[in-house]
Amino acid sequence: MRSISFVLNRVINILISVIQIIMGVSILLQLFGAREVPFVRFVYALEAPLLAPFKGIFQPIHLNALYVLDTSALFALIIYSLLGFLLLKLVGIRNF
């Protein structure tokens, strides 16, 4: 039988990985100037609630008319990764 801390560890890892993938793909799509096709709209829709608390913290960097580095999304990716790391450490410290 698996312990609760093991299961929590796995759930947190999966959740943070999914968030990192969504945020990373979105950043890359904007950086490479992806056109508004259904896949791109789907990724942006998944990212919107994750990015909402961070929207507008930093100005995006426009490399030219097409390519954009969304620094708020990059910052959000870093914060979510750090929060995931801290949650994993807390679960590891606490013995259930």
Per-domain residue ranges for the chain?
4-93
What tens digit of pLDDT does each residue of 20-59 get? 999 999 999 999 988 999 999 999 999 999 999 999 899 9
- In this prediction, residue 96 carries a pLDDT of 47
Average pLDDT on 76-80 reads: 96
Banded model confidence at residue 79, pLDDT cuts 50, 70, 90: very high
> Is the CB of residue 9 less than 8 Å from the CB of residue 92?
yes
> Is the CB of residue 61 less than 8 Å from the CB of residue 69?
yes
**Residues in CB range of 45: below 8 A, 6 or more apart:** none
Average pLDDT on 74-94 reads: 90
Q: How far apart are CA 69 and CA 27, in angstroms?
A: 7
Average pLDDT on 51-72 reads: 90
48 by Cβ neighbours in 10 Å (0-12 / 13-18 / 19+) ranks as exposed
